[in-house]
Amino acid sequence: MAGPLIERMSRVDTAWLRMDTPANLMMIVGVWLIEPTLSVAEARLRVAERLLQYDRFRQKVVEDAVGAQWVEDTHFDIDAHVVPETLEPQAGQTPLDALKDRVADLSATPLDMRRPLWQIHLVENLEDGRSALVVRVHHCIADGIALISVMLSITDGGKAPPKRKRRQAEGAEHDWLGEALIKPMADLTIKAIGLTGEVWPSRSS
Q: What angle do CA 201, 202, 205 make, to 5 degrees?
A: 140
Catalytic-labelled residue, pool 81, 121, 138, 139: 139
Q: Order of strands across the sheet with 82-85?
A: 27-34, 130-138, 118-127, 82-85
For 3-30, b/e burial (b = at least 16 CB within 10 A) is eebebebeeebbebbeebeeeebbbbeb
Contact 99, 22 (CB under 8 A): no
- Asked if omega into 4 is within 30° of 0 (cis), the reply is no
Question: What's the one-letter identity of residue 195?
Answer: L
DSSP letter at 55? Answer: G
Give the chain's length. Answer: 205
- Is 139 a residue of the active site? yes
Closest C-alpha to 149, from 104, 179, 113: 179
User: How many whole angstroms separate alpha carbon 49 and alpha carbon 51?
Assistant: 6
Catalytic residue positions? 139
